[in-house]
């Protein structure tokens, strides 16, 4: 049954932390194990029960027996020291009660309020009321610079007339796949961007060949002009030969006017600030920076830009508006239906994972289970978007918290064929987002 939220309940008779909201469940259940874990003792008698706080020795709850095995609680107030262990939502600011506007702000990589309002007005996000998002912690932590003005003049009149490129790195820590760099390719005409993760700078030539093949096959185009800063990775003999074979003109920006490559520089800052906001707002460890960068580019390509008079790079390149309904909050907690081959009598049907972005080629959500180290690319995913995965206490990562593992967010007849597994996040494979 789908879980839609976690929170605390306070009424005149009941005070309970860590309460799961499951709309389809028509009875309110309290876990005896969870109450005992909060430092309490439960006394069960043939016709009644009571709950005692072991610290204060006070009786904090009473109830009566109903039927064969159920006890109905008339009153229960768990002590405040027991309510300090639940999920920490304060660093995230997105809660179950947040506005839809703020939810979409988070889903779209902390997009600016003005741009989100513009998207609302076009109707692509459904019925959405504007809200104040100036207090968003992710934005405050992740975005600290004003983007420079665009000083480069573009002369392109069709996709791939001019492609800007830049290599970023080395990152202070490698991704799980061992990458320390990323290279961006930006189409000047549409501003659509592609990013590949690299282990070494010298992998650039190989990656350029891969991108060039993608452009030829998927867009029936040749890169006419390639603009990039001077650097060892761009000036090798191999690359000159590749340019010559295609008739591609290579433009280097002069060393004293680096703003000539302003398009790549601006895109880089947009990508990094979006990725940083997503990582920090959901407390995702830095080693997942590669996933954050790939997701940033995926989102930025779908957000309208003033360069295209309010059309997204994706829409300008592919000629139709992208879908938005599948977008979810990066770093949030999700449940993935395990493939049949992986299920045993003892294991749960679902794996509790962190959501790390969108599949490419094979459509689906990229979900990582840190316990098994597996990366699932699956469509059978259920999300708790306002609960960042890495804010859950470690016992939940280890799937020992029985109340979390017992949640089955899927309908019984849900298909499972579209789930595939790889042992390590394939960040280094450099798939085009
Ligand atoms: Zn934000």
Q: How close is the Cα of 143 to the center of ligand 1, in Å?
A: 9
- A 10 A CB-CB count for 245 gives 9
Nearest C-alpha neighbor of 264 from the set 249, 280, 252: 252
Structure tokens at 305: 């830009």
Task: Please name every residue paired with 76 in a beta bridge, in sequence order, or none if there are none.
Answer: 14, 61
Q: How close is the Cα of 105 to the center of ligand 1, in Å?
A: 6
Q: How close is the Cα of 168 to the center of ligand 1, in Å?
A: 24
Q: How close is the Cα of 274 to the center of ligand 1, in Å?
A: 9
Q: What residues pack around ion ligand 1 (CB closer than 5 A)? A: 110, 136, 138-139
Structure tokens at 418: 């579209």
Q: How close is the Cα of 278 to the center of ligand 1, in Å?
A: 8
Q: How close is the Cα of 285 to the center of ligand 1, in Å?
A: 18
Q: How close is the Cα of 145 to the center of ligand 1, in Å?
A: 14
Q: How close is the Cα of 387 to the center of ligand 1, in Å?
A: 15
| CA torsion angle 317 319 324 326 (round to 10) | -90
Determine the Cα–Cα distance for residues 79 and 231; give it in Å rounded to an integer: 63
Pick out the chain residues at pLDDT < 70: 1-8, 10-12, 21-24, 26, 56-57, 79-93, 96, 144-154, 230, 232-236, 253-261, 345-347, 361-362, 393-433
Q: How close is the Cα of 299 to the center of ligand 1, in Å?
A: 14
End-to-end CA distance of the chain: 32
Task: Please name every residue paired with 225 in a beta bridge, in sequence order, or none if there are none.
Answer: 162, 249
Q: Describe the strand order of the beta sheet including 225-229 as a list of residue ranges.
A: 193-198, 181-187, 162-168, 225-229, 249-253
Determine the Cα–Cα distance for residues 381 and 360; give it in Å rounded to an integer: 16
Q: How close is the Cα of 311 to the center of ligand 1, in Å?
A: 22
Nearest C-alpha neighbor of 324 from the set 145, 111, 133: 111
Phi/psi at 20 (nearest 5 deg)? Answer: -90, 135
Phi/psi at 345 (nearest 5 deg)? Answer: -65, -30
Q: Tell me the C-alpha to C-alpha distance, in Å, between residue 361 and each of 146, 284, 357.
A: 34, 25, 13
Q: How close is the Cα of 138 to the center of ligand 1, in Å?
A: 5
CA torsion sign, 82 to 97 to 272 to 210? positive
Residue 380, pLDDT score: 86
Q: How close is the Cα of 130 to the center of ligand 1, in Å?
A: 14
Q: How close is the Cα of 104 to the center of ligand 1, in Å?
A: 10
Q: How close is the Cα of 137 to the center of ligand 1, in Å?
A: 6
Q: How close is the Cα of 4 to the center of ligand 1, in Å?
A: 22
Nearest C-alpha neighbor of 225 from the set 152, 159, 160, 165: 160
Q: How close is the Cα of 106 to the center of ligand 1, in Å?
A: 6
Q: How close is the Cα of 117 to the center of ligand 1, in Å?
A: 14
171 touches 180 (CB < 8 A): yes
Q: How close is the Cα of 275 to the center of ligand 1, in Å?
A: 11
Q: How close is the Cα of 98 to the center of ligand 1, in Å?
A: 12
Q: How close is the Cα of 139 to the center of ligand 1, in Å?
A: 4
Q: How close is the Cα of 323 to the center of ligand 1, in Å?
A: 21
Q: How close is the Cα of 109 to the center of ligand 1, in Å?
A: 7
**H, E, C per residue of the chain:** CCCCEEEEEECCCEEEEEEEECCCCCCCCCCHHHHHHCCEEEEECCCEEEEEECCCCCEEEEEEEECCCEEEEEEEECCHHHHHCCCCCCCCCCCCCCCHHHHHHHHCCCCCHHHHHHHHHHCCCCCCCCCCCCCCHHHHHHCCCCCCCCCCCCCCCCCCCEEEEEEECCCCCCCCCCCCEEEEEEECCCCCEEEEEECCHHHHHHHHHHHHHHHHHHHCCCCCEEEEECCHHHCCHHHHHHHHHHCCEEEEECCCCHHHHHHHHHHHHHHHHHHHHHHHHCCCCHHHHHHHHHHHHHHHCCCCEHHHCCECHHHHHHCCCCCCCCCCCCCEEEEEECCHHHCCCCCCCEEEEEEEEECCCCCCEEEEECCCCEEEEECCEEEEEEEEHHHCCHHHHCCCCHHHHCCCCCCCCCCCCCCEEECCCCHHHCCCC
CA atoms lying within 13 Å on the CB side of residue 400: 5
Residue 62, pLDDT score: 80
Q: How close is the Cα of 383 to the center of ligand 1, in Å?
A: 19
Q: How close is the Cα of 271 to the center of ligand 1, in Å?
A: 14
Tens digits of residue pLDDT in 259-307? 556 888 889 989 999 999 999 888 898 889 999 999 999 999 999 998 8
Q: Describe the strand order of the beta sheet including 70-77 as a list of residue ranges.
A: 5-10, 14-21, 70-77, 59-66, 48-53, 40-44
Residue 265, pLDDT score: 87
Residue 260, pLDDT score: 57
Q: How close is the Cα of 108 to the center of ligand 1, in Å?
A: 9
Q: How close is the Cα of 386 to the center of ligand 1, in Å?
A: 13
Residue 394, pLDDT score: 52
Q: How close is the Cα of 273 to the center of ligand 1, in Å?
A: 11
């Amino acid at each position: 049954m789908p879980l839609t939220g976690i929170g605390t309940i306070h009424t005149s008779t009941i005070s309970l932390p860590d309460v799961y909201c499951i709309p389809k469940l028509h009875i309110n259940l309290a876990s005896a194990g969870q109450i005992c874990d909060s430092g309490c003792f439960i006394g069960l008698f043939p016709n009644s029960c009571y709950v005692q706080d072991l610290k204060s020795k006070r009786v904090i709850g009473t109830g009566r027996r109903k039927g064969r095995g159920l006890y109905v609680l008339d009153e229960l107030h768990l002590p405040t020291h027991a309510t300090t262990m639940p999920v920490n939502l304060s660093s995230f600011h997105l809660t179950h009660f947040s506005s839809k506007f703020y939810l979409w702000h988070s889903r779209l990589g902390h997009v600016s309020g003005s741009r989100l309002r513009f998207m609302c007005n076009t109707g692509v996000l459904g019925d959405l009321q504007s809200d104040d998002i100036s207090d968003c912690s992710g934005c405050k932590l992740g975005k600290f610079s004003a983007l420079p003005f665009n000083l480069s003049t573009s002369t392109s009149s069709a996709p791939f007339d001019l492609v800007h490129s830049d290599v970023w790195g080395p990152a202070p820590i490698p991704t799980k796949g061992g990458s320390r760099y990323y290279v961006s390719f930006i189409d000047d005409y549409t501003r659509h961007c592609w990013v590949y993760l690299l282990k070494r700078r010298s992998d650039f030539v190989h990656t350029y060949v891969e991108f060039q093949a993608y452009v030829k096959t998927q867009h029936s185009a040749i890169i006419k002009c390639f603009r990039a800063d001077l650097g060892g990775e761009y000036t090798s003999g191999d690359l000159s030969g590749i340019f010559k074979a295609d008739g591609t003109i290579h433009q280097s920006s002069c060393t004293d006017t680096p703003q000539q490559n302003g398009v790549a520089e601006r895109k880089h800052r947009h990508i990094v600030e979006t990725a940083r906001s997503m990582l920090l707002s959901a407390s995702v460890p830095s080693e997942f920076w590669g996933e954050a960068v790939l997701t940033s580019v995926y989102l930025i390509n779908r957000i309208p830009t003033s360069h295209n008079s309010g059309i997204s790079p994706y829409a300008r390149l592919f000629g139709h508006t992208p879908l938005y309904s599948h977008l979810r909050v990066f770093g949030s907690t999700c449940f993935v239906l395990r493939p049949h081959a992986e299920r045993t009598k003892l294991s749960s049907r679902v794996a509790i994972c962190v959501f790390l972005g969108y599949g490419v080629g094979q459509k689906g959500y990229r979900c990582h289970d840190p316990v098994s180290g597996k990366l699932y690319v699956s469509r059978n995913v259920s999300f708790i978007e306002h609960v960042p995965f890495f804010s859950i206490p470690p016992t939940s990562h280890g799937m020992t918290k029985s109340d979390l593992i017992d949640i089955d967010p899927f309908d019984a007849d849900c298909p499972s064929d579209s789930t595939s597994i790889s042992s390590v996040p394939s960040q280094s494979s450099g798939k085009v987002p």
